[in-house]
Amino acid sequence: MGFYQTLISKLLSKEDALRLINTKKFVGKKIVFTNGCFDILHPGHVTYLNQARDLGNFLVLGLNTDASVKQLNKAPNRPINKELDRATVLAALSCVDAIVLFNEQTPLELITYLNPNILVKGNDYELEKIVGYTVVKANGGEVITIPFLEGYSTTRLIENILK
Protein backbone atom coordinates (compact mmCIF):
# COMPACT_ATOMS: atom_id res chain seq x y z
CA MET A 1 0.00 0.00 0.00
CA GLY A 2 1.38 3.42 -0.94
CA PHE A 3 2.11 6.07 1.64
CA TYR A 4 -0.89 8.29 0.89
CA GLN A 5 -3.16 5.25 0.60
CA THR A 6 -2.11 4.37 4.15
CA LEU A 7 -3.09 7.85 5.32
CA ILE A 8 -6.41 7.72 3.50
CA SER A 9 -7.19 4.28 4.94
CA LYS A 10 -6.39 5.39 8.52
CA LEU A 11 -7.75 8.96 8.58
CA LEU A 12 -11.46 8.48 9.19
CA SER A 13 -14.51 10.58 9.87
CA LYS A 14 -16.02 9.87 13.26
CA GLU A 15 -18.93 8.12 11.52
CA ASP A 16 -16.63 5.80 9.55
CA ALA A 17 -14.55 5.19 12.68
CA LEU A 18 -17.68 4.19 14.61
CA ARG A 19 -18.72 1.71 11.90
CA LEU A 20 -15.23 0.17 11.92
CA ILE A 21 -15.10 0.07 15.73
CA ASN A 22 -18.49 -1.62 15.95
CA THR A 23 -17.34 -4.25 13.45
CA LYS A 24 -14.17 -4.85 15.48
CA LYS A 25 -16.12 -5.08 18.74
CA PHE A 26 -18.58 -7.52 17.16
CA VAL A 27 -15.71 -9.98 16.57
CA GLY A 28 -14.38 -9.51 20.11
CA LYS A 29 -11.64 -6.93 19.58
CA LYS A 30 -10.75 -4.45 22.33
CA ILE A 31 -10.74 -0.84 21.16
CA VAL A 32 -8.16 1.50 22.69
CA PHE A 33 -8.52 5.27 22.40
CA THR A 34 -5.99 7.99 23.09
CA ASN A 35 -5.69 11.55 21.95
CA GLY A 36 -3.31 14.43 21.59
CA CYS A 37 -1.67 17.02 19.36
CA PHE A 38 1.45 15.00 18.47
CA ASP A 39 2.92 18.18 16.98
CA ILE A 40 6.53 17.07 16.51
CA LEU A 41 6.68 13.29 16.76
CA HIS A 42 9.49 12.06 19.00
CA PRO A 43 10.50 8.76 20.69
CA GLY A 44 8.30 9.53 23.70
CA HIS A 45 5.23 9.68 21.47
CA VAL A 46 6.13 6.50 19.59
CA THR A 47 6.76 4.59 22.83
CA TYR A 48 3.50 5.85 24.31
CA LEU A 49 1.45 4.92 21.23
CA ASN A 50 2.97 1.43 21.05
CA GLN A 51 2.22 0.85 24.73
CA ALA A 52 -1.34 2.10 24.25
CA ARG A 53 -1.85 -0.25 21.29
CA ASP A 54 -0.53 -3.19 23.33
CA LEU A 55 -3.45 -2.75 25.76
CA GLY A 56 -5.97 -3.89 23.15
CA ASN A 57 -6.42 -4.93 19.53
CA PHE A 58 -7.18 -1.67 17.72
CA LEU A 59 -5.84 1.83 18.51
CA VAL A 60 -7.90 4.87 17.61
CA LEU A 61 -6.06 8.16 17.92
CA GLY A 62 -8.10 11.32 18.40
CA LEU A 63 -5.95 14.04 16.82
CA ASN A 64 -6.48 17.70 17.69
CA THR A 65 -7.11 19.85 14.62
CA ASP A 66 -5.01 22.99 14.22
CA ALA A 67 -7.92 25.06 15.57
CA SER A 68 -8.22 22.76 18.58
CA VAL A 69 -4.49 23.06 19.34
CA LYS A 70 -4.80 26.86 19.24
CA GLN A 71 -7.66 26.65 21.79
CA LEU A 72 -5.31 24.83 24.18
CA ASN A 73 -3.03 27.90 24.30
CA LYS A 74 0.12 25.77 24.14
CA ALA A 75 2.07 28.61 22.51
CA PRO A 76 1.25 31.24 19.90
CA ASN A 77 3.24 29.39 17.23
CA ARG A 78 1.64 25.98 17.80
CA PRO A 79 1.01 23.72 16.14
CA ILE A 80 4.31 23.67 14.27
CA ASN A 81 3.03 20.99 11.88
CA LYS A 82 -0.40 21.25 10.28
CA GLU A 83 -3.06 18.64 11.10
CA LEU A 84 -2.78 16.68 7.84
CA ASP A 85 1.02 16.61 8.14
CA ARG A 86 0.72 15.32 11.71
CA ALA A 87 -1.89 12.76 10.61
CA THR A 88 0.37 11.60 7.75
CA VAL A 89 3.30 10.94 10.08
CA LEU A 90 1.09 9.19 12.65
CA ALA A 91 -0.58 7.05 9.97
CA ALA A 92 2.85 5.68 9.08
CA LEU A 93 3.10 4.06 12.53
CA SER A 94 1.96 0.44 12.51
CA CYS A 95 0.60 0.77 16.06
CA VAL A 96 -1.95 3.41 14.97
CA ASP A 97 -4.98 1.76 13.38
CA ALA A 98 -7.24 4.78 12.90
CA ILE A 99 -7.02 8.56 13.26
CA VAL A 100 -10.01 10.83 13.83
CA LEU A 101 -9.57 14.60 13.85
CA PHE A 102 -11.51 16.54 16.46
CA ASN A 103 -12.10 20.26 16.54
CA GLU A 104 -13.22 20.68 20.15
CA GLN A 105 -10.93 21.68 23.01
CA THR A 106 -11.30 18.21 24.55
CA PRO A 107 -12.09 14.81 23.01
CA LEU A 108 -15.10 14.20 25.29
CA GLU A 109 -17.65 14.30 22.45
CA LEU A 110 -15.52 11.93 20.35
CA ILE A 111 -14.93 9.51 23.25
CA THR A 112 -18.66 9.48 24.02
CA TYR A 113 -19.49 8.85 20.35
CA LEU A 114 -16.89 6.10 19.77
CA ASN A 115 -17.29 4.38 23.16
CA PRO A 116 -13.87 2.67 23.34
CA ASN A 117 -13.18 -0.27 25.67
CA ILE A 118 -10.01 1.36 26.97
CA LEU A 119 -9.11 5.04 27.33
CA VAL A 120 -5.40 5.81 27.67
CA LYS A 121 -3.52 8.96 28.68
CA GLY A 122 -0.07 9.75 30.02
CA ASN A 123 0.52 9.42 33.73
CA ASP A 124 0.80 13.19 34.10
CA TYR A 125 -3.00 13.04 34.47
CA GLU A 126 -4.89 11.97 37.59
CA LEU A 127 -6.99 9.00 36.53
CA GLU A 128 -10.37 10.42 37.63
CA LYS A 129 -9.62 13.79 35.97
CA ILE A 130 -8.97 12.34 32.51
CA VAL A 131 -11.48 13.70 30.00
CA GLY A 132 -13.84 10.83 29.22
CA TYR A 133 -13.13 8.90 32.44
CA THR A 134 -16.75 8.96 33.64
CA VAL A 135 -18.16 8.02 30.21
CA VAL A 136 -15.80 5.10 29.64
CA LYS A 137 -16.20 3.75 33.18
CA ALA A 138 -20.02 4.07 32.98
CA ASN A 139 -19.94 1.93 29.82
CA GLY A 140 -17.88 -0.79 31.50
CA GLY A 141 -14.54 0.27 30.05
CA GLU A 142 -11.13 0.85 31.56
CA VAL A 143 -9.12 4.04 31.93
CA ILE A 144 -5.36 3.53 32.08
CA THR A 145 -2.36 5.84 32.38
CA ILE A 146 1.03 5.11 30.86
CA PRO A 147 4.32 6.57 32.10
CA PHE A 148 6.11 8.88 29.72
CA LEU A 149 9.56 8.13 28.35
CA GLU A 150 11.87 10.36 30.37
CA GLY A 151 13.56 13.28 28.64
CA TYR A 152 11.16 13.80 25.75
CA SER A 153 8.67 16.59 25.21
CA THR A 154 7.65 18.63 22.19
CA THR A 155 8.06 21.86 24.16
CA ARG A 156 11.61 20.92 25.16
CA LEU A 157 12.39 19.89 21.58
CA ILE A 158 11.20 23.27 20.27
CA GLU A 159 13.28 25.07 22.93
CA ASN A 160 16.38 23.10 21.86
CA ILE A 161 15.78 23.92 18.20
CA LEU A 162 15.47 27.64 18.98
CA LYS A 163 18.77 27.60 20.91
- Which residues does 74 contact at the CB level (< 8 Å), separation at least 6? 37, 39, 155
The stretch 37-45 carries a mean pLDDT of: 89
Bigger pLDDT: 59 vs 41: 59
- Give the chain's domain count: 1
Contact in structure between 34 and 119 (CB atoms under 8 Å): yes
Q: Return the CATH number at 130.
A: 3.40.50.620
Looking at the predicted structure, is the pLDDT value of residue 68 above 60?
A: yes
- Looking at residue 75, its amino acid is A
Helix, strand and coil percent figures for the chain, each rounded to 5: 45, 20, 40
Q: What is the pLDDT of residue 160?
A: 63
Confidence label for 35 from pLDDT (cuts 50, 70 and 90): very high
The stretch 75-94 carries a mean pLDDT of: 90
Looking at the predicted structure, is the pLDDT value of residue 152 above 90?
A: no
Query: Which stretch of 123-127, 140-144, 155-159 has the lowest confidence by average pLDDT?
Result: 155-159
Tens of pLDDT along 91-101?
999 999 999 99
Find the domain containing 141 and state its range: 3-162
35-59 in b/e form (b: 16+ CB < 10 A) is bbbbbbbbebbbbbbebbbebbbbb
Q: What is the pLDDT of residue 41?
A: 87
